[in-house]
Structures are given as structure tokens and as C-alpha cells.
A = this chain, B = another copy of it.
């Protein structure tokens, strides 16, 4: 990883990565969060997307597999899970792979967490269908 030297560089890099994973919708979510908690929104772009997501070591697809799995296991953050299912599909996961991750997590976090995640996946898939997005 090339270390970004300044906050501005980290932000620019994070915004680019955010767009790559979440598209324009991701920036809208961050902008919404920024109305109430601008520093939290900034840390998410700067640190989460600018530092962590820009790391090597995993492909972006593998990184999204890990993220979706972690959010299914936590169980309490469905909006973020939906957002990262979108992101995973945007960077090359198939819908079938998303459902496999959900089923795999049934073993570790239980069937209710997996069922709720499957419902979140369905919401994402339908939204993408209605907007004509492939994948």
C-alpha cells in the first residue's frame, strides 16, 4: 500500500474506492450521515475506504466476501449489510455467491441471522432488477 501523506489524499483515495464499490449511492449515504456526524462520515471515507479498503493482500472481491460475512454474523446492521451486498455485486461477486456466504454463516451465527440476511439480499436483488442493473 502506498501511504497517503495527508488527510486530503486519503479522502480523495477513499472517495474513489467508495465509488468503485458502492457507486453514486454510496456517496449519498455518506452525505446523509455527514449531515448529522460529519467527522464520522469523514472517518468512514478517509479511514475505512481510504486506508483499509485500499490495502492489498485481498482482492476487492475477497474483501467484500469478508465484509458481507462479518455483517451477517453481527446480525444487527441490516442497512449496512444491504449496502455491502450491493458493493460485493458491484465488484464481481455473483448473486449465487452472496447467498452461499449467507448459508455458510448459518453455521456460525445461526439460522435467524442467515434468514434475515437472505431477506436483505432479496431486497438488494429486486432493487437491482428494478433499476436494470446486471449482477
Contacts and interface: CB of A to CB of B under 8 A. Distances in A.
Interface of A: 1, 3-7, 33, 35-37, 39-40, 43-44, 47-48, 51-52, 55, 57-58, 62-63, 65-77, 79-80, 96-97, 99-116, 118-119, 121-122, 125
Count of identical protomers in the assembly: 6
A107 B48 contact: yes
A121 B39 CA distance: 14
Nearest to A30: B115
Q: Which residue of A6, A48, A63, A66 has the most chain B CB atoms within 10 A of its CB atom?
A: A66
- Is chain A's interface secondary structure helix, strand, loop, or mixed overall? helix
Contacts of A36: 99, 118-119, 121-122, 125
B72 A70 contact: yes
Contacts of A7: 3-5
A70 B105 contact: yes
